[in-house]
Amino acid sequence: MCYNMPDMKRMMIVTAGPTREHLDPVRFLSNPSTGKMGFALAAAGAAAGFDVRLVAGPVALATPKGVKRTDIVSAREMLVAVRALLREATDGLKPVFIATAAVADWRPARIAAHKLKKAEMSGTLHLVRNPDILKSVHGAVKVGFAAETDRVLAEAARKCREKKLAFIVANDITKPGTGFGTETNRVTLVFPDGRTVAWPLMTKRRVATRIVRTIADLEM
Ligand code: CTP
């Protein structure tokens, strides 16, 4: 199978892992994302012939073969990195953007340059909203992920519409074998027209290969 024009590879940008939102040099807000799903997608994309660019938060994973990686810490750094990559995309070949990162929605309003002392903290942490990376990016074929605990498919469908996605990969993280840190995942693809496709429990590698195949079959 060949998903590209001769001599040119379509860019596939993948965000992966958590972001960290620091309040001082030694403390941050974050989440337990390990980046496994995103790294599996990057590997599957490279194997399928895409020019894969991985934008990774702090994770303990090796860069898959053939993948170019940018490491970031915060959501705002992730957005800057994604925008810079989109500017590099080859004319006429719309890039693919797959957002698997567990981006922190909020960050501390102020980042102290020094380690805060107990006496300097009031017990209230003021937060401000982070940018929605997937929603704010244009000019790409966009695929999102929705890890939910309630109303899984309805929430996924809302995000698919609001972020103008080609499809969204929904999973119920209350079910065994899914969610943060596992080797497996059970997902349902939700398309903008309301169509859903449920896949059985599989390794994240297998899920990644099938997602890349679904993307390659989209009209771009
Ligand atoms: N996402 C993103 N930037 C954000 C938040 C989310 O790029 N600031 C992406 C995620 O990578 C994922 C999708 O958007 O692909 C859905 O993420 P999720 O956290 O489930 O959605 P939110 O928009 O944050 O929605 P809510 O908090 O209402 O569940």
The per-residue pLDDT for range 31-69, each reduced to its tens digit, is 999 999 999 999 999 999 999 999 999 999 999 999 999
- Residue-wise pLDDT tens digits, 62-121: 999 999 999 999 999 999 999 999 999 978 899 999 999 999 999 999 999 999 999 988
Active-site position among 4, 31, 171, 185: 31
More reliable by pLDDT, 1 or 9: 9
Q: How far is the CA of 107 from the centre of ligand 1 (A)?
A: 14
d(CA 208, CA 184): 11
Is residue 31 among the annotated active site residues?
yes
Give yes or no for a contact between 35 and 57, defined as CB atoms under 8 angstroms apart. yes
More reliable by pLDDT, 177 or 144: 144
Atom 27 of ligand 1: nearest residue by CA position: 105
CB under 6 Å to ligand 1: residues? 15, 75, 99-101, 103, 105, 130, 132-134, 144-146, 159
How far is the CA of 8 from the CAs of 31, 47, 65, 89, 189, in angstroms? 37, 15, 19, 11, 29
